Amino acid sequence: MQSITGRRCCKTAAILSRHLNSTEMKSNASPSPTPVVWDVKRHKKSNAVLNAEMKKLLAFMLNYREGAADYQKVVMLFNMSGCGLSNIDYDFIKYLISLLTEYYPDILDNLLVFEMPRLLSAAWTIIKNMLDEDSRDAIKFVNKTDVLEFVDKEQLPVSLGGKNEAA
């Protein structure tokens, strides 16, 4: 019998696989790539096994995109709606910052923070001090209207106000 963690990892792998193989990512398709969506509310920092697997999958995805013949920069979208302090995983955030600044400095187009609650502005104050100026400039705080400046409605998941039912 497969564990809950195993099922979640498989689901995450399936989502990343869809992202990596999606026709929307081809260079002759839409100018707006399919965003990598991270639903922060579902993240449980206490699950060390799942978090380790997520880190591996994220590194794999970035490495795959960087080496692709039809290379496009990545748009990451962190869905923060409904989140609280218990959802903020500073270890994962440090890992992500390390990946994007040290190993893949040119791969990120934008990191979109979707509907961040005001309660988490203190967390942002801590996180932005870990970033250089270029990285801070790549981070955009967006809502359902603003996000359409960075991602086509066709590429955005339905849960975030878009039309993409597969995401």
8-56: per-residue pLDDT in tens?
Answer: 555 555 555 544 444 343 333 445 666 888 788 777 777 788 888 888 9
Cα–Cα distance, 41 to 34 (Å, whole number): 21
DSSP letter, residue 73:
-
pTM listed for this prediction: 0.75
Q: Other CB atoms closer than 10 Å to residue 58's CB: what's the count?
A: 20
Do residues 108 and 97 touch, judged by C-beta distance below 8 A? no
Mean pLDDT of 145-160: 90
